Amino acid sequence: MTRTSALIEKLGVDIDPELLSLALTHRSFAYENGAIPHNERLEFLGDSVLGQAVTVRLYTRHPDLDEGSLAKRRASVVSTVALAEVARAIGLGDHVRLGRGEILTGGRDKDSILADTMEAVIGATYLSAGPDAATELVLRLVEPLLADPDRYGAAMDPKTSLQEIAARQSLSAPVYSVEAAGPDHDRRFTATVTVGDVATQGHGSSKKQAEMAAALAAWRELDARA
């Protein structure tokens, strides 16, 4: 069984292997290999499919919630940090085709790359198996987030959520440090947050994004302990 077919089996949908390969091709790999096509168009499509599926599910499941509450929940479920969590759950990072630079800087575990690739895979599913299959895939993948209201606050505002859970567990306030790498036009940031004996990292294209990713990872660990 090839790595691509193993991923198709894990996803549980019949995706055209060539489309899936395209969905897994990051622009860094494309540029290093003769400017071949990459996954950003599929990402654009998948973002729309994801948003619609989550919107309809929230609307039908929560008739008691007003527009603002529904919008907040949707934003949380389709956020970069939430999609990265979904991608990690299926081991998507192991399959992404990355350029050498991204591989060396931990691209397989960067929230932004994982989230974008997840959207591209959803787009490839839509084109290969149709809208119903794509919607079913989305809902199956994000159901853990939809079923856990506490994650809405954590995914939307990880730093505040981390501070609150640290206080509840009588831990010291979170301490952040951030490092930057790469040229000015493509800076990548790695944030480390320490809370008690927990230290986690997050990556992003901005200091804020990296800190949020690190905070969410720490929140997950502390929440699991609780």
Catalytic residues, by residue number, are 47, 119
- C-alpha 179/C-alpha 199 separation (Å) is 15
Nearest to 26 by CA among 124, 125, 117: 117
Distance CA(33)–CA(77), nearest Å, equals 34
Of the candidates 17, 91, 79, 32, the one whose C-alpha atom is nearest the C-alpha of residue 54 is 79
